[in-house]
Structure 1
């Protein structure tokens, strides 16, 4: 069995105790409790901590606090109805704001909200938001990206719905080409997506809404704000939501329950404590992802690829009742900012994320080949036994960032920091017999589980994870009345990855890696309306620690080292940008160039004639192009928006494979050098139009993605496609204790298109070909695809009190 791990528990306890100490210090550092009311006005966005608005002279530059340290603020001007925000950082930043979020479907995840940004191509599973999705950015995937909530890491884009309800989101930002030096990310090759939550209100009250829509979707949400609690200066909120929906294609239902909690304490000297926690519990019925032929057959009415609603004991893998997922997530972070004497300040940002649950699918277990019993003392089974194969997952993730800041003079601020990150991923593969009518049994029940020699039969019992120790130094310089800003930093990450399969005789595998990450950004404000910037940095993606696992050699009958053990993916990136902003419109143009080394690819390889799934390095890759965004401030209540990306990519290496030569299996290379990268459309384009007169509001958006290859040999292509959405609503006058009632309708896929929006599974080559060294390389299979949900609509009524 997997040994019980307690390191993360002790680590979390240390984090929480340290947080309490810093909280106590922050309280003692003030001469009196904070009594500010109303917070920062809407035209000022806090990026470090609260600042009295009358002190803001240059919104893009530093501001002096009473404690003497430097505080950064930025103007929170938005255009295009909140589809674009004015930015001042010396790097590309693309943001949607609360104004836009409030018009969208409340089931929207951060993934849904950024789908009209120029760098992003989004693929979603369903119309309810419960099943998540994926995205591609500048020829890279969300696996190459740091996914953050309030500046700390969460799970991949597939699980974004579990992090926070959309009513509690303030903004979602994508930095497609960079990651700030002090962010706790280990996979920032494609940049960072960071969702920021709302700040608790100073007044008691709340908000509730109810939604109903297509596919029997229903959702309820309630948030209660505490307001300022006595004279403590503490304020917070608690919210709960419940959602239920059917799959839009095929049978199956999904259900989600979610809690969010936020609290904040501000101190007179500028110190603060900010807590956010969330809990998510859901049951989902996973869809099938079609091949190109299955999709076309379904589109033309010649077949189907979905699970069956009828149980056939001879085909349990096709029955919807035996496939699904139960998942829990708990997330907590408690950033602390402490203003110290002599122009020092200290930031401490701890976090803890727990993911756990199980996924299951039906299968026919061959009891003649593998001797098992039902229960530890049950009778031996024989023949093909209808069963469920369950993957039980336990995944704690904890870490903290500690950063000491010193304002050298009025021009320079230097920061020294340390980041620790730990994740452990324990997976057990269990089998249980199915009931006669095709229902699954509880996977941990002993009486219906399959046992071998008196112990639970588990062909895989893995434990993989990492320890990450990172040191960084960062300096920000501002000159010429804050018109020139220079950000320079360096981070070095020391990573220990490990992997072990306790169900086999495979040895414990581990590897240490040191990765240097330099960064330089320069921004210059030419005049009141124009800014130019350049940014250059190194970023990386750490390989999945599971790729360290030893491989079983069928010829020798033993486990051997993985010959395809992948190195970290490393990128050198450059950006050149220009921004414009005046009373009428804002624009942002950025050119980018990526040089990718050791591109990480999930694929199948062979070890002594045995196919295995693993992660390999596919050599080098180049990506370059430009992003352009333009948005207008309201003109007679109308706010237009448009964006476009042009992307040109090429694979600079041939892909390792195996082929057949003179009757023997040999190592070879696929001739992929010079071909276009997978999931890298030449053009992404968006247009949007928002109307808002204070009562009636609406938003219309169209997205276009051009054709993309879904095999590395470029022998299968997904055609270009359009997606669209409409939101329309009305704000009614308040009456009695009911404040700000709003009714809105959200429509997606208005034309009812049935199209593919992304690749769920890529393959090397869809058709047989010849390798570089002349061997015959057989087809590696057909790619599978995400589908765009057909026309769906949601109506939402919300009120405040």
Structure 2
């Protein structure tokens, strides 16, 4: 446990822990043992999609930043942590479980935040290399080169390249990832510096299929896409795949202007594009583009029936912005003024390519049209601009024992979203948001080793995805497949914490927390009937209240052994009856989906400088997947083990080591998290007597047993 002094609950893992884990794990998997954290790890390597919860909040409600830059999808809020940085270059990952830093450039973070920091260039020329391989054809190759100080310029840099690949551990298919990290640092003085941070990722992955509970009970881990093609089969694995390209850049500047005045300025930009590909069947005659019915597909006049296609969903988005923080420190007072500007642009549509009798297709062929129009269920374009300005003031009293902190931020966002298919209603939405977020924090150091703190914080989350504003349509009907739930206000979070820390041979951190959410919106997904196309939906869930306790204990090494334990108790309550479209369901007082009552972890580490090892045991309680609490996934426990040895050096400059990582030691087959939430798992009557149809939640299958051997060396 790293020592923390902030007046909020925060936990972290550092380089010493990260380097003992498998180099292909995602950043969210690396923090799965921290209190209150649920990481839905679906495989030993990941290229994009991750499910993640903190204190009952899902990944779309949590802010993710890397080197001070937002790294979530700008509208769906899916975290892109796996695309930002290689584990070998991660310095630390911290989780703030119940509040959000006012200066953080996020607009989707209700009450939790994940911050990642990269290592800095070394003062000396050298590098690091590792080669890893394991089960499921898992492999990774990584190399990093450090320039050291270039002449007497106070400029240092590193660049790294990695390649990783594996077979899907369940069902046919594979995945592959290429990644580049780079950092160029200029130290102007001892306390002023600039960093250029760069990252590039290119990846491809056949998609995992997410089962319903009935499909899981019937098929277990054998449930996935089909390995061979039969006529009309939309679940053929070769037509269900995801391509991702991410380019990231930021210039991180910290300047000490005077003894009392410092300035932080960071411009950044991120560009991402797809596509995601799925299987579908569309009508040759009598289909729809939006609400407009076509007679025949172009070139198919006089034919009938359904045509099996590769449904290609090209998408691209970019976000750019700048953060500025001016800090003035005078005596006991520390005053900060900060500003953030963000611009985001996202566009997405569908192209349909007919499959050959063998299930093949090609971009060289023309995509399908009708009356000259692209055959698509949506063709959207969304632009967002956001300005946020704030002030924060810290007052230190009683010789540093008491710190009082008060701050306020005002965020102003405008969005324009258009749906360019015929008959879309609405075809355009242009909401504006103004979100004030004050916070008050206080901490008192009883002794040098003991601290108490309390806080009252607020934060917000703008509605997720363009589906919150615009409809999307199936090609088989003029009836929308998803309808926006009306005019959505931003989700708003009000939280309180009371915490205690003790630092010493035994480190202890404990916190009681409580929060309320208003305008709560659950981001979900479901398969479009007759296809493998995942569509996003938003559930307007009203209000939510939660309270609980979290804690963690860590020891300093004793005879080279250190221990760690964390745990959380969480009680959630839905605040109102939810509109199910045809009626209201009696959800008031029910437990929030995806919020297990108990969770915890135990860890042991051994490191004598030559031999090292790390053991992690994690437990997650059962969790509901519907707002009516009529379907859930059972509790589960998993364990991971790492063993390694520092090998003898070569020529005193090459320092190798070897490591074995065992993931999911018991080979437990389990559902790790929820992919698509539901209102009710059984058809029932609503409060006014109308029938509310059942929904079938879908689930993420947890990673199988994986063994991986890594040979690495510093030089």
TM-score (norm. length: structure 1) = 0.83
1:209–1:796 CA contact under 8 A, matched in 2: yes
2:170–2:223 CA contact under 8 A, matched in 1: no
- Structure 1 residue 613, shift from structure 2 partner: 6.4
> Over residues 274-294 of structure 1, what are the superposed CA-to-partner deviations in whole Å (9 max), with x where a residue is unaligned?
121100000100011111121
Per the alignment, residue 641 of structure 2 pairs with 726
Q: 1:630 to 1:613 in 2, by over 3 A?
A: closer
Residue correspondence of structure 1 range 72-87 to structure 2 within 5 A = 84-87=1-4
Partners of 1:736 and 1:419 in 2: how far apart? Answer: 50
1:161 alignment partner, SS class: helix
Q: Is 1:280 aligned with 2:201?
A: yes
Partners of 2:127 and 2:102 in 1: how far apart? Answer: 37
1:499–1:548 CA contact under 8 A, matched in 2: no
Q: Which structure would you say has the larger Rg?
A: 1
Q: Is 1:674 aligned with 2:571?
A: no
Partners of 2:478 and 2:15 in 1: how far apart? Answer: 60
Q: Is 1:758 aligned with 2:673?
A: yes
Per the alignment, residue 7 of structure 2 pairs with 90
1:620 alignment partner, SS class: strand
- Structure 1 residue 349, shift from structure 2 partner: 1.3
Q: 1:499 to 1:132 in 2, by over 3 A?
A: closer
2:90–2:117 CA contact under 8 A, matched in 1: yes
Q: Is 1:693 aligned with 2:608?
A: yes
Residue correspondence of structure 1 range 236-635 to structure 2 within 5 A = 236-268=157-189, 270-299=191-220, 304-315=222-233, 317-341=234-258, 343-370=260-287, 382-407=304-329, 409-442=330-363, 445=364, 447-506=365-424, 507-544=427-464, 546-551=466-471, 562=484, 564-582=486-504, 584-602=505-523, 614-635=537-558
Q: Is 1:773 aligned with 2:688?
A: yes
Partners of 1:545 and 1:788 in 2: how far apart? Answer: 26
Instruction: Report the RMSD for the aligned CA atoms in angstroms.
Output: 2.4
2:581 alignment partner, SS class: strand
1:643 alignment partner, SS class: strand
- Structure 1 residue 298, shift from structure 2 partner: 2.1
- Equivalent in 18, 29, 32 of residue 115 of structure 1: 32
2:485–2:539 CA contact under 8 A, matched in 1: no
Per the alignment, residue 529 of structure 2 pairs with none
Q: 1:594 to 1:210 in 2, by over 3 A?
A: same
Range moving further from structure 2, 629-638 or 118-127: 118-127
Partners of 1:594 and 1:441 in 2: how far apart? Answer: 51
2:469–2:486 CA contact under 8 A, matched in 1: no
2:671–2:701 CA contact under 8 A, matched in 1: yes
- Equivalent in 100, 109, 129 of residue 179 of structure 1: 100
Q: 1:209 to 1:384 in 2, by over 3 A?
A: same
Give structure 1 stretches of 5+ with no counterpart: 1-83, 606-611, 660-667
Partners of 1:718 and 1:286 in 2: how far apart? Answer: 22
Q: Is 1:746 aligned with 2:661?
A: yes
> Over residues 615-653 of structure 1, what are the superposed CA-to-partner deviations in whole Å (9 max), with x where a residue is unaligned?
243111110001110000000000000011010111111
2:346 alignment partner, SS class: strand
1:400–1:420 CA contact under 8 A, matched in 2: yes
1:497–1:545 CA contact under 8 A, matched in 2: no
Per the alignment, residue 18 of structure 1 pairs with none
1:271–1:338 CA contact under 8 A, matched in 2: yes
Q: 1:401 to 1:604 in 2, by over 3 A?
A: closer
- Structure 1 residue 477, shift from structure 2 partner: 1.7
Partners of 1:251 and 1:559 in 2: how far apart? Answer: 29
Q: 1:757 to 1:635 in 2, by over 3 A?
A: same
Per the alignment, residue 291 of structure 2 pairs with none
2:580 alignment partner, SS class: strand
Range moving further from structure 2, 197-206 or 125-134: 125-134
- Equivalent in 645, 648, 656 of residue 579 of structure 2: 656
Q: 1:448 to 1:383 in 2, by over 3 A?
A: farther
- Structure 1 residue 328, shift from structure 2 partner: 0.1
- Equivalent in 190, 199, 222 of residue 111 of structure 2: 190
- Structure 1 residue 602, shift from structure 2 partner: 3.6
Per the alignment, residue 530 of structure 2 pairs with none
Number of residue equivalences: 693
Q: 1:244 to 1:379 in 2, by over 3 A?
A: farther
1:321 alignment partner, SS class: helix
> Over residues 711-766 of structure 1, what are the superposed CA-to-partner deviations in whole Å (9 max), with x where a residue is unaligned?
10001121110011000000012112652201000001111111111111111000
1:324–1:359 CA contact under 8 A, matched in 2: yes
**Structure 1 stretches of at least 4 aligned residues deviating more than 4 Å after TM superposition:** 371-374, 376-382, 550-563
Range moving further from structure 2, 788-797 or 269-278: 269-278
Q: 1:341 to 1:790 in 2, by over 3 A?
A: closer
Q: 1:294 to 1:233 in 2, by over 3 A?
A: same
Give structure 2 stretches of 5+ with no counterpart: 288-293, 527-534
1:295 alignment partner, SS class: helix
